[in-house]
Structure 1
Amino acid sequence: MSHANLMSNYFNPNLVYTEEDFRCHFLMRRHVFERLLRDVQQVNPYFRQKWDRAGHPSFSPQKKVIVALRMMAYGSPTDLIDETHGMSEPTCLDTLEQLCDTIV
């Protein structure tokens, strides 16, 4: 459900938030984010959409990158990420590590 909200708020054609809102929330323009997402997906399979054994989707690539960027940009603690994005502490830390390793 949080993925659906994220997509409808920031990425689908009928956006809830404007380009300027995106820039304020994520400290970058949407096209920069989309390029970063595309580039990390090409290099690191961790950032591609996966399905669990029950056939449910894992965290979306957009959510993984957003969580890692929020942790870096704002110093967001993992318990706050868990409350707002439903991602556990180990997954948050793994996502941050994967993004940093991919960029380096």
Structure 2
Amino acid sequence: MGQGSQAIGKRAGDRFPLNFQGNDMLADQDPDVKLEAPVEHNGKLLSELRFRAPTIGDIEAAEKIAGDVAKSVFLISRLSGVDIAHVRKIPAAYLDSILDQLEDLKGTA
């Protein structure tokens, strides 16, 4: 890990350091979910999703949103760095796989 960074928790240790800033470190990780039907994102085709581990603040913000699907879309966007509008274009067939990954990251699975 970089100078001045500390790991948070056992699982999160290889996910993001204490001073994590955005999703830039996720580029070198294996994808958490591969999309067989790519979605356009910022002029590029998105064929995989990578997630950072959620913070307490992420979970708190999601709790303020009404509806389970709306909360899921919010968290997928926030933890992957993909705009909500583009998350909504991901085929619904991937939703269970994506939600399984998010549960694993929260450590509640």
State the TM-score, normalizing by the size of structure 1.
Answer: 0.31
State the TM-score, normalizing by the size of structure 2.
Answer: 0.30
Higher strand share: 2
Higher helix share: 1
The structure number with the bigger radius of gyration is 2
